[in-house]
Chains A and B, each alone.
Chain A
Amino acid sequence: MIGRSELRIVCNADSTSARRLRQALRSFLDVFALERDLAEDILLAIGEVLSNAIEHGSDATGRSHLELFARSGGDDTLAIAVHDDGKFIERERLPNRGYGLRIVRAIARSVTIETSGGTNVEMVFGRSRSPVCSSAQR
């Protein structure tokens, strides 16, 4: 049985950040021995949020940092949050970025977006496939 596990990374946002954070998250997910497709999907969802944050996550002064926080829940779930310094509403209006959130919502069981003090996107994933998130249900 796996106890409560956490991963927290804070870094500056640049063009390499998404890949480095996905690699770190992949190692964290390895602990849970997830089904391969499910692990890939979680990494995709987080990659989408990270990409958006890197492209548009600067605050008014140009400061740009990312925080990734992942934790396992006792109810067979993983909660993963990405925080950045930007404003979510502005990002949604940009062209060619309309697919990211759609992809995230297709994969995650729930998505919560908070926009005070930057943007915080928290996603909850199952550690196993369920009818809620199976491909046939989408």
Chain B
Amino acid sequence: MQPSISVIKLTGELEIGRKAEVRGALQLTDEQKSILIDCGEVTYADSTALAELIRFRNQADARQVPVAILIGNGQFARLLDYAGLAQAFAVFDTRGAALAFLGSQTAGSQTAP
């Protein structure tokens, strides 16, 4: 049986002017068992987005809901690096790798990303 994976797609420039929108998109529900945050079409992200992702990840961790982030360009990866958060998220540059990670987590594997 395939694990249930919820996809939250974010696009464009994730900056202070869209803070409320990003927060609204990153809401955890009881039905979500595994979450892919698709940032493949994000063209810019800053610490405003990071703060919302950290808030969401903390909520998900508290409920043991695995979260993977799909990134589409180097800017997001460098943002994590500069913030000292490169290891704080399960980040992937292909959808297949992200889904495989979530599948393994949902199946109870403790394999690190």
Contact = CB atoms under 8 A, between A and B. Distances in A.
Interface of A: 15-16, 18-19, 22, 37, 40-41, 43-44, 47-48, 50-51, 54-55, 96-97, 99-100, 102-103, 106-107, 135, 138
Nearest to A43: B44
B82 A102 contact: yes
B8 interface: no
B24 interface: no
A37 B74 contact: yes
- B contact face: mostly helix, strand, loop, or mixed: helix
Given A44-B75, A99-B47, A51 B16 contact: yes
B82 A107 contact: yes
B3 to A, nearest CB: 31
Interface string B74-91: 110011011111000000
Q: Across chains A and B, which 9 residue pairs bring their CB atoms closest together, nearest first?
A: A106-B82, A99-B47, A51-B16, A96-B51, A103-B82, A99-B83, A15-B17, A100-B47, A47-B46
Contacts of A15: 16-17
Nearest to A45: B82
B82 A51 contact: no
30 contacts: A15-B16, A18-B16, A19-B13, A19-B17, A22-B44, A37-B74, A40-B74, A40-B75, A40-B78, A41-B78, A43-B44, A44-B44, A44-B46, A48-B46, A48-B47, A54-B16, A96-B55, A99-B50, A99-B83, A99-B84, A100-B46, A103-B46, A103-B47, A103-B79, A103-B83, A106-B81, A106-B82, A107-B82, A135-B78, A135-B81
